[in-house]
Amino acid sequence: MNEERREEVIVLTDEEGNEYEFEVVQVLEVEGKKYAVLFPLNDDKIDDDEAIIMRIETGEDGEDIIVDIEDDTEWEKVVAEWELFLDEDDECEDCDEDEDEDDEEGHSHEGCVCGGEPTKK
């Protein structure tokens, strides 16, 4: 089954009023709180592979808002969860190989049952 992924884009505004678009690539839950993992869209000032993680809270109007994570311990827990997700996502479930690394025989996942795509366990 070919599942179409709906892109969720949000706009963040900095202190100077500059707007930046981000794609919400994942929502994590850590210790009962939700966090949005964001990747920049069309922004030369931010590296394409640099993720931004922010906590999701409920505003006074009942709408979701995102806020900076200021506590170092909280930040470390969320980053560890994101890294765990990335490690699990990169492993090829069908052939038990890491998709990012070729083995000694040069296995590149082409022709694998997995089709070369990482699968979530």
Is 107 part of a structural domain of the chain? Answer: no
Residue 111 lies in a domain: no
pLDDT of residue 91: 54
Could you tell me where the DSSP H helices lie in the chain? 72-90
Is 115 a residue whose pLDDT tops 90? no
Domains: count for the chain: 1
Instruction: Please determine, for residue 116, whether its predicted confidence score (pLDDT) is greater than 60.
Output: no
Tell me what pLDDT residue 81 has: 92
Compute the residue count for the chain.
121
Tell me the residue range of the domain where 19 lies.
8-90
Name the pLDDT band for 88 (thresholds 50, 70, 90): confident
Is residue 108 situated within a structural domain? no
Question: 8-66, pLDDT tens digit by residue?
Answer: 899 988 899 989 889 999 999 999 999 999 988 876 665 556 788 999 999 999 999 99
- In Å, how far are 83, 96, 102, 120 from 93, measured between CA atoms? 18, 5, 15, 8
Q: Is residue 119 part of a domain?
A: no
Is 102 among the domain residues? no
Closest by alpha carbon to 107, among 121, 89, 94, 88?
A: 94
Contact 9, 38 (CB under 8 A): no
Angle, vertex CA 48, rays to CA 43 and CA 53, nearest 5: 90
- DSSP secondary structure letter of residue 4: P
